[in-house]
Amino acid sequence: MIDDDALDGRLFRARPDTPLRGAPLTGEQEELLASIMASAGVARPRRARGSKTVLERWSLAAALLLVLVVVSATVSVWPVQTSHAVAVTPRALQIQPLQGNAENLLLELSESVAAAAEPRPATTIRFEFWGLALSPQGSSVSMQPHETLLDYRSDGSTAVETRALQALAADGSPVDDPDARDAGELVLWHLYKKGEAVGVFSKPSLDTEWGSLLREGERLPADADAAGYFRAVANLLSEHPLSGSEQSELVRFLATLPDIHVEGELIDRLGRPGVGFVAPDGDYRRMLIISPELGVLAYELVYTGSSRTDVPSPAVIDYKAWY
């Protein structure tokens, strides 16, 4: 039987973006999914409204993946064919074009973040996240974001809590979906004791070599592209709170990466202004939204291909927003 550390590593290395609809899981993925569902006591993706699922002993990697498995189950999980399922996805963010190249703008943002940096180190992480969901009955009724809070306590322990947020229509308006969790419903909770690793990334510091840290935590090759680093940044920020100075240095590292395009000025999904930077990734593009005061605000994966029938193109596949 696989031990916790080995399973945790496999889960983080196997964190795929939502696969193409209809694509079968590999044998390893089927085995991994079955072990997660069995260990958490989940018999099937669908659930009765109002039921509680509190995971008191689970790794952060497995716990967050389980949340997405339950609310964003892929086609191979469902016992019925979903060839005509259409997912509800968020509206695209409105972009205002911005002059300048990515390297120079990122360096400017790094300087402004450093100037606005709080003197006290951060001890908490709070973020909203959402992933593409398909309905086995046809068109999805809603999309449901979740919120996770990590509290790094003075005694060395770390508390992790995830709650469901209000189910929404594509335009962001509230929806009464009988299959959605109640807003505020506790999905998982866990207390990591002092010395227990919350995730797989090393804790950053001001003298961190960011390229090495991101490659090691995300299992990226030495010649990783900007898209891989963007994904790693999103996962790092979901594990470790960064000080303003560390955020500044992280943004400065991003300025060294090739093939980053300036998307423009925008307002993120939590109503905050920032600048969007995009890294192409095949049929997808990954975007980091960076604030001149706070650093990285949000991450989005957007589908831009032409082979999917469950979502339009372009379509947001998942996002995270830290606050």
H or E element, residue 290: strand 284-291
Q: How far apart are CA 287 and CA 279, in angstroms?
A: 6
Please give the pLDDT value at position 135.
57
Does the pLDDT at position 223 exceed 90?
Answer: yes
User: How many whole angstroms from its chain centre is CA 95?
Assistant: 21
Domain ranges of the chain: 4-77, 95-322
176 alpha carbon, distance to own chain's centre: 25
Q: Which amino acid is at 275?
A: V
Of the chain, the end-to-end C-alpha distance in Å amounts to 38
pLDDT (tens digit, 9 = 90+) per residue, 176-212?
998 899 999 999 999 999 999 999 999 998 899 999 9
pTM for this predicted structure = 0.80
Q: Is 99 exposed, middle or buried (0-12, 13-18, 19+ CB in 10 A)?
A: exposed
- Predicted confidence at residue 140, as pLDDT, reads 73
Closest by CA to 277, choosing from 114, 105, 128, is 105
What sign does the dihedral 18-260-126-159 (CA atoms) show?
positive
CATH for 95-322 is: 2.50.20
Average pLDDT over all residues of the chain: 81
- Take residue 167 and report the two structure tokens written for it: 């189910």
* Distance of alpha carbon 196 from alpha carbon 102, whole angstroms: 38
**Which of 128-137, 241-250, 264-273 is predicted with the least confidence, judged by mean pLDDT?**
128-137
- pLDDT above 70 covers what percent of the chain? 72
- The C-alpha atoms of residue 323 and residue 321 are separated, in whole angstroms, by 7
Q: What is the pLDDT of residue 141?
A: 82
Distances (CA, A) of 69 to 29, 93, 176: 12, 26, 22
Give residue 78's pLDDT band: very low, low, confident or very high (50, 70, 90).
very low
Separation in Å, CA 59 to CA 91, 189, 193 = 32, 10, 12
The residue that leads in pLDDT, 230 or 71, is: 230
> Residue 25 has which token pair?
């899981």
| Composition of the chain by helix, strand, coil, percent to 5 | 25, 25, 50
Out of 17-21, 32-36, 141-145, least confident range: 17-21
Between 149 and 30, where is the model more confident?
A: 149
Q: Which of 73-82, 253-262, 297-306 has the lowest mean pLDDT?
A: 73-82
Q: Which amino acid, 79?
A: P
Q: What is the mean pLDDT of residues 117-135?
A: 87
Kindly indicate the confidence band of residue 304, based on its pLDDT and cuts at 50, 70 and 90.
very high
The C-alpha atoms of residue 322 and residue 20 are separated, in whole angstroms, by: 27
What is the rounded CA–CA span in Å between residue 292 and residue 256?
18
